Structure 1
Amino acid sequence: MDTRVIKYFLTVAHTNNITKAAKQLHVTQPTLSRQIMDLESELGVTLFDRQQRRMELTQAGVLFQRRATTILQLLDQTEAELLRQDSDELTGTINLGCVVSSVSPYLMGLVDQFQQAHRAVRFNLFDGDGDFLRRQLDEAATELACLIEPVEAAKYNYLVLPSREQWGIILRADDPLAKKTAFTRDDLYKLPLIIPHRNIVRDEVSDVLKLDQRRLNVRASNNQPSNAIALIRTGHYYGLAIKGVADLFHDSAITFVPFTPATSIGHVLVWKKNRQLSTAAERFLHFVTDHAN
């Protein structure tokens, strides 16, 4: 498959219009249309819905767009590394994902130290929840990702990091309940909750607190904290979350109250099993391991 055709496809997917894409690519519209049809024939699927004036991606097209983007990124990184392979200086690009939590300052501190020692290494940083970052790992868009425990040990290698999180409730600072020293299981049943999107995380908290999830008044779920915090500021919602989320926002309008019994979780740096890391990523992993021990 010609990378030029992949770039053609991505341009059409971005513009949703064959005429606009042809102008951007400096090719004729018939030529571009033929290239896209040849690509669909080669793949054996329909990538675009042509029933409307816009070129909308089909489900297969969405999947191929995600994979094609990753393929081109990996090719660009590989070419850059090959051009510099004769140099004694460590080079390359490390694709690193990290959840939004108290581990972020810790991990970014290590990124800074590593780059001070290896200034030719570049990082592509990805924020997201565990589901997004695991998908990035599975699709080779990310080499390393920092996740909240637990992780699927059958799929990933992992390094335990010296950073733990406390689970509790984020709420408005002026809420009368903010005076509590801790929330119990029975307290949670009475609150309109925003809960984490990931089932594996919710189940972990439920196991510790012996929660009956069917009794929870769940009003929303979230994968990233920004919108949840906006809802919590209204005073009508309570967020089941980790303390690091509240700390990262530095917002005096919200506060954090822990659970009782105390419920904490750890962080792990994860990489896919049976997949070779780039030289730069391998060196960074060793660097983190030395600091984690």
Structure 2
Amino acid sequence: MELRLLRYFYTIAEELNISRAAEILHITQPTLSRQLRELEIELDTQLVDRTGRTLALTEAGHFLKSRAAEILTLTDATTEEFMDRKKNLFSGHVVIGCVEADNSDTLAMLLEDFVNDYPRVTFEIFSATSDLIIERLDRGLLDMAILLEPVNTAKYKTLALPRTETWGLLVGSDSYQASQEVITPEMLPGLPLMLSARPEVCQMLLDWAAVPAEKLNVVGNFNLSFNVIPLVAHDVAAALMIEGAVTGRTGDETVFVPLAPKMATECVLAWRRERPLSPVAAELIQYFKDAFGH
């Protein structure tokens, strides 16, 4: 006998009214009536007397209600005990590096579930570029990190995150580029640009544009987008970045324009291969694996 059917019957036995029981259980009245008949067929016993306007329990129905109360109480108590055990199973601290990206929301959602399940766990988030985060990861100052490709992950175990990061130019809203739907390679030469200080990102742009480095007018480099946004707003230069780094951070003075053909990369969750993980860090990584089917 399924616990679900037992709970259905117990609610009927308490209410002695199919309509009220169905409302409490959030199912339709015909569905509940059908489940009751199937339970009676399974037990080969009439549980409810349906004569008259109200329901009445048969002798077998009273017996099953008593047993159902015991079984459901024990089931609920056991479930609650396991939930309490889960919440108190881990305590500790986890340190996570994270780039500016759309996948920052992915981290937020997973952490929300994690600290809800393990309220004794505390966490720290270190935001920076992939290079700075990798440096801290290698020194053992981070348990894990969300990194933006392109990045060399040979030393790490990795897990691809679900959101693709779209590259484009952040431009001033009064600029010619702001009126365009996309930025194409032929629009880059001569355009003042601010690029990431990471060589991999610069090379990725050169490969996309199919131009030598001397064809680009790079006026500055940056690591995080926060201080770049005012420079773009004042038309100092356009900034190459991913859309997720500026979503919700900019006002009417700047516009993000994607590159075409599309240039997109992924974020990965990374942790050192040879370094043992704390129980808290291992459990958080498992949350990521479970969430994304790995």
Secondary structure at the aligned position of 1:284 is classed as helix
Aligned to 2:155: 155
Q: Alpha-carbon deviation of 1:156?
A: 1.3
282-291 vs 241-250, greater mean Cα deviation: 241-250
Aligned to 1:72: none
Aligned to 2:35: none
> Does structure 1 retain, via aligned residues, the 8 Å contact 2:194–2:238?
yes
Given the alignment of the two structures, is residue 197 of structure 1 paired with residue 197 of structure 2, yes or no?
Answer: yes
Aligned to 1:239: 239
> Does structure 1 retain, via aligned residues, the 8 Å contact 2:225–2:246?
no
Amino acid at match of 1:90: F
Q: Alpha-carbon deviation of 1:163?
A: 1.2
Residues 47-74 of structure 1: per-residue CA shift (max 9 Å, x gap): xxxxxxxxxxxxxxxxxxxxxxxxxxxx
Q: Alpha-carbon deviation of 1:209?
A: 3.1
- How much identity, in percent, do the aligned residues show? 29
Tell me the distance in 2 between the aligned counterparts of 1:214 and 1:176.
23
Residues 175-254 of structure 1: matches in 2 within 5 Å? 175-254=175-254
Q: Alpha-carbon deviation of 1:88?
A: 5.2
Amino acid at match of 1:130: S
Secondary structure at the aligned position of 2:140 is classed as coil
> Does structure 2 retain, via aligned residues, the 8 Å contact 1:155–1:273?
yes
**Using a 3 Å threshold, how does the CA distance of structure 1 residues 248 and 132 change in structure 2: closer, same or farther?**
farther
> Does structure 1 retain, via aligned residues, the 8 Å contact 2:232–2:239?
yes
Residues 104-162 of structure 1: per-residue CA shift (max 9 Å, x gap): 11211111111111101111110000111000101100010001112323211110000
Secondary structure at the aligned position of 1:260 is classed as coil
How much is the aligned-residue C-alpha RMSD, in angstroms? 1.5
> Does structure 2 retain, via aligned residues, the 8 Å contact 1:165–1:265?
yes
TM-score by length of 2: 0.68
Residues 45-84 of structure 1: matches in 2 within 5 Å? none
> Does structure 2 retain, via aligned residues, the 8 Å contact 1:91–1:118?
yes
TM-score by length of 1: 0.68
175-184 vs 219-228, greater mean Cα deviation: 175-184
Tell me the distance in 2 between the aligned counterparts of 1:220 and 1:269.
29
> Does structure 1 retain, via aligned residues, the 8 Å contact 2:170–2:256?
yes
Aligned to 1:94: 94
Q: Alpha-carbon deviation of 1:255?
A: 0.8
What stretches of structure 1 of length at least 5 have no aligned partner? Answer: 1-86
Amino acid at match of 2:115: Q
Q: How many residues align?
A: 207
